[in-house]
Chain A
Amino acid sequence: MEKVCENWPEKAFISGLVDAKYWTDFEANATAAAAQVYKVADYAAGEAKLKEVLKEYAPKEIIAVGGDENPALKGIYSRLSEDGTKVYTEKFDIAEHAPSADVGISTAEFGVGESGSLVVDNYSYEARVTSMLPFVNVVFVNANYMVENITSACQIIGKVFQKGYCGFVTGPSRTADIERVLSLGVHGPNKLIIIAVENEGGAK
Chain B
Amino acid sequence: MARDLKKEIKSKLQDNIMQDALSRFADQYPGSRLKSYAGQDIEELRENLRCMKADAVEHIEELADKFEANVKARGGEVFRAKDGDEVKKFLIKICKENGVKRVVKSKSMASEEIHLNECFTENDIRVKETDLGEWMIAIAGQKPSHMVMPAIHLNRYQCAEMFEKELNEEVPGEDIPYMIQKARQTLRQEFLQADMGITGANFGIAENGAIGLVTNEGNARLVTTLPRIHVVLIGYEKLIPKTEDAAKILRLLPRNGTCQKMTSYMTMVDGPTPVMYKKDGKWVEENRKQYVILLDNGRLEAAHDPVMKQVYQCVRCASCLNVCPIWTLVGGHVYGHIYSGGIGAILTGLLNGIENFSQFSDLCIGCRTCTTVCPGKIPIPDLIDELRNRYVKKHGTPTMDKSFFDNVLNDRGLFHKLLLKAGSVGQAPFKSGKFIRHLPLFFAGMTKGRSLPTIAERSIRDRMPALEKKNPSNAKKKVAFFSGCNTDFVFADTGENVVKVLQSLGMEVVYPMAQSCCGKPILGVGDRETGKKAAMRNIEALESVKPDVIVTSCPTCAETLSETYEKLFADDPVWGPRAKAFCAKVREFSSFVAEEYKAQGKLLPAAGGEKVTFHDSCHMKRGLGIYEEPRALIDATPGVELVEMKNCDKCCGMAGSFGMKYSEVSIPMLEEKVQNIKNTGATTCVVACPSCMMQIGGGLDNQNTGIKVKHIADLLAEKL
Which residues in A have their C-beta under 8 angstroms from that of B225? Answer: 125, 128-129, 132
Q: Which of B136, B179, B218 has the most CB of A within 10 A?
A: B218
Taking CB atoms and an 8 Å cut-off, the chain A residues in 146-204 that contact chain B are: 149-151, 153-155, 157-158, 161-181, 183, 185-189
Q: Do A177 and B150 touch across chains, with their CB atoms under 8 A apart?
A: yes
- Answer whether A177 and B151 are a contact pair too, CB < 8 Å, given A95-B276, A150-B262, A187-B184: yes
A92 located at the interface, meaning its Cβ lies under 8 Å from any Cβ of chain B in the complex = yes
Q: Do B184 and A116 touch across chains, with their CB atoms under 8 A apart?
A: no
Which residues in B have their C-beta under 8 angstroms from that of A128? Answer: 221, 225
CA distance A91 to B277 in the complex (A): 12
Please give me the residue from chain A that is nearest to B254 by CB atom. Answer: A115
21 CB contacts below 8 A, A to B, read A95-B283, A99-B188, A125-B275, A129-B225, A149-B247, A150-B247, A151-B248, A154-B247, A161-B208, A161-B268, A162-B208, A162-B270, A163-B74, A164-B273, A174-B216, A174-B264, A175-B132, A175-B216, A177-B151, A178-B179, A181-B156
Q: Do B132 and A188 touch across chains, with their CB atoms under 8 A apart?
A: no
User: How many inter-chain residue pairs (CB < 8 Å) link A and B?
Assistant: 184
Segment with Cβ contacts to A, from B82-90, B238-246, B496-504, B508-516: B238-246
Type the 1/0 row for B243-282, where 1 means its CB is closer than 8 Å to any CB of A. 1111110110000001011111111111101111000000
Please give me the residue from chain A that is nearest to B137 by CB atom. Answer: A177
Which residues in A have their C-beta under 8 angstroms from that of B149? Answer: 176-177, 180
B155 located at the interface, meaning its Cβ lies under 8 Å from any Cβ of chain A in the complex = yes
Taking CB atoms and an 8 Å cut-off, the chain B residues in 170-210 that contact chain A are: 176-177, 179-181, 183-184, 187-188, 191-192, 207-208, 210
A31 located at the interface, meaning its Cβ lies under 8 Å from any Cβ of chain B in the complex = no
> Interface on chain B toward A: helix, strand, loop, or mixed SS?
mixed
CA distance A166 to B248 in the complex (A): 18
Which residues in B have their C-beta under 8 angstroms from that of A179? Answer: 21, 154-156, 159, 176
Please give me the residue from chain A that is nearest to B179 by CB atom. Answer: A178
In the complex, besides A2-B274, A183-B176, A187-B130, 6 extra interface pairs with C-beta distance below 8 angstroms are A125-B225, A132-B221, A132-B222, A173-B264, A183-B180, A188-B264
- Give the 6 A-B CB pairs with smallest separation, nearest first: A188-B218, A158-B243, A177-B133, A115-B262, A154-B247, A167-B267
Taking CB atoms and an 8 Å cut-off, the chain A residues in 70-128 that contact chain B are: 91-92, 95-96, 99, 112, 114-117, 122-126, 128
B571 located at the interface, meaning its Cβ lies under 8 Å from any Cβ of chain A in the complex = no
A33 located at the interface, meaning its Cβ lies under 8 Å from any Cβ of chain B in the complex = yes
A142 located at the interface, meaning its Cβ lies under 8 Å from any Cβ of chain B in the complex = no
Please give me the residue from chain B that is nearest to A119 by CB atom. Answer: B266
Which residues in A have their C-beta under 8 angstroms from that of B183? Answer: 186
Q: Do A165 and B270 touch across chains, with their CB atoms under 8 A apart?
A: yes
B131 located at the interface, meaning its Cβ lies under 8 Å from any Cβ of chain A in the complex = yes
B152 located at the interface, meaning its Cβ lies under 8 Å from any Cβ of chain A in the complex = yes
Q: Do A178 and B132 touch across chains, with their CB atoms under 8 A apart?
A: yes
B61 located at the interface, meaning its Cβ lies under 8 Å from any Cβ of chain A in the complex = no
CB distance from A63 to the nearest CB of B (A): 13
CA distance A189 to B222 in the complex (A): 12
CB distance from A125 to the nearest CB of B (A): 5
Q: Do A157 and B268 touch across chains, with their CB atoms under 8 A apart?
A: yes
Which residues in A have their C-beta under 8 angstroms from that of B271? Answer: 163-164
Q: Do B262 and A125 touch across chains, with their CB atoms under 8 A apart?
A: no
Q: Do A154 and B250 touch across chains, with their CB atoms under 8 A apart?
A: yes
CB distance from A123 to the nearest CB of B (A): 7
- Answer whether A115 and B261 are a contact pair too, CB < 8 Å, given A173-B217, A180-B152: yes
B285 located at the interface, meaning its Cβ lies under 8 Å from any Cβ of chain A in the complex = yes
Q: Which of B224, B264, B274 has the most CB of A within 10 A?
A: B264
CA distance A176 to B159 in the complex (A): 12
Q: Do B283 and A187 touch across chains, with their CB atoms under 8 A apart?
A: no
CA distance A188 to B269 in the complex (A): 18
Chain B residues with a Cβ under 8 A of chain A: 21, 25, 74, 130-133, 136, 149-152, 154-156, 159, 176-177, 179-181, 183-184, 187-188, 191-192, 207-208, 210, 212, 216-219, 221-222, 224-226, 242-248, 250-251, 258, 260-271, 273-276, 283, 285
CA distance A204 to B132 in the complex (A): 43
CA distance A124 to B273 in the complex (A): 8
CA distance A178 to B262 in the complex (A): 20
* Contact size range, A: 35 or more
- Answer whether A186 and B247 are a contact pair too, CB < 8 Å, given A125-B273, A177-B133, A177-B149: no
Please give me the residue from chain A that is nearest to B25 by CB atom. Answer: A180
Which residues in A have their C-beta under 8 angstroms from that of B274? Answer: 2, 123-125
CB distance from A100 to the nearest CB of B (A): 11
- Answer whether A164 and B270 are a contact pair too, CB < 8 Å, given A95-B276, A176-B258, A186-B217: yes
CB distance from B83 to the nearest CB of A (A): 30
Q: Do B263 and A187 touch across chains, with their CB atoms under 8 A apart?
A: no
CB distance from A113 to the nearest CB of B (A): 10
Q: Do A150 and B250 touch across chains, with their CB atoms under 8 A apart?
A: yes
CA distance A112 to B248 in the complex (A): 15
Which residues in B have their C-beta under 8 angstroms from that of A29? Answer: 261
Q: Do A177 and B131 touch across chains, with their CB atoms under 8 A apart?
A: yes
Which residues in B have their C-beta under 8 angstroms from that of A167? Answer: 212, 265-268
CB distance from A111 to the nearest CB of B (A): 12
Q: Do A178 and B264 touch across chains, with their CB atoms under 8 A apart?
A: no
CA distance A154 to B325 in the complex (A): 36
Q: Do B273 and A173 touch across chains, with their CB atoms under 8 A apart?
A: no
CB distance from B243 to the nearest CB of A (A): 3
CB distance from B199 to the nearest CB of A (A): 13
Q: Which of B187, B221, B258, B275 has the most CB of A within 10 A?
A: B221
Please give me the residue from chain B that is nearest to A189 by CB atom. Answer: B218
CA distance A95 to B283 in the complex (A): 8
CA distance A185 to B133 in the complex (A): 15
CA distance A125 to B250 in the complex (A): 25
Q: Which of A157, A176, A181 has the most CB of B within 10 A?
A: A176
CB distance from B700 to the nearest CB of A (A): 33
Please give me the residue from chain B that is nearest to A158 by CB atom. Answer: B243
- Answer whether A99 and B192 are a contact pair too, CB < 8 Å, given A154-B243, A173-B217: yes
Q: Do B283 and A96 touch across chains, with their CB atoms under 8 A apart?
A: yes
CA distance A122 to B220 in the complex (A): 14
CB distance from A188 to the nearest CB of B (A): 3
Q: Do B273 and A165 touch across chains, with their CB atoms under 8 A apart?
A: yes
Which residues in B have their C-beta under 8 angstroms from that of A2? Answer: 274
CA distance A150 to B258 in the complex (A): 17
- Answer whether A33 and B188 are a contact pair too, CB < 8 Å, given A125-B285, A161-B243, A177-B149: no
CA distance A133 to B225 in the complex (A): 11
Q: Do A116 and B177 touch across chains, with their CB atoms under 8 A apart?
A: no
Q: Do B251 and A151 touch across chains, with their CB atoms under 8 A apart?
A: yes
Which residues in B have their C-beta under 8 angstroms from that of A126? Answer: 276
Which residues in B have their C-beta under 8 angstroms from that of A186? Answer: 132, 180, 183-184, 217-219
Please give me the residue from chain A that is nearest to B286 by CB atom. Answer: A125
Please give me the residue from chain B that is nearest to A170 by CB atom. Answer: B262
CB distance from A144 to the nearest CB of B (A): 21
Q: Do B247 and A153 touch across chains, with their CB atoms under 8 A apart?
A: yes
Q: Do B217 and A174 touch across chains, with their CB atoms under 8 A apart?
A: yes
Q: Do A165 and B159 touch across chains, with their CB atoms under 8 A apart?
A: no
CA distance A32 to B264 in the complex (A): 12
- Answer whether A117 and B262 are a contact pair too, CB < 8 Å, given A149-B251, A165-B269, A178-B159: yes
CA distance A169 to B242 in the complex (A): 21
CA distance A115 to B131 in the complex (A): 23
CA distance A126 to B274 in the complex (A): 9
Which residues in A have their C-beta under 8 angstroms from that of B247? Answer: 149-151, 153-155
CB distance from B249 to the nearest CB of A (A): 10
Choose one: B74, B152, B184, B276; the contact of A185 (CB below 8 Å).
Answer: B184
CA distance A169 to B262 in the complex (A): 9
Q: Do B216 and A173 touch across chains, with their CB atoms under 8 A apart?
A: yes
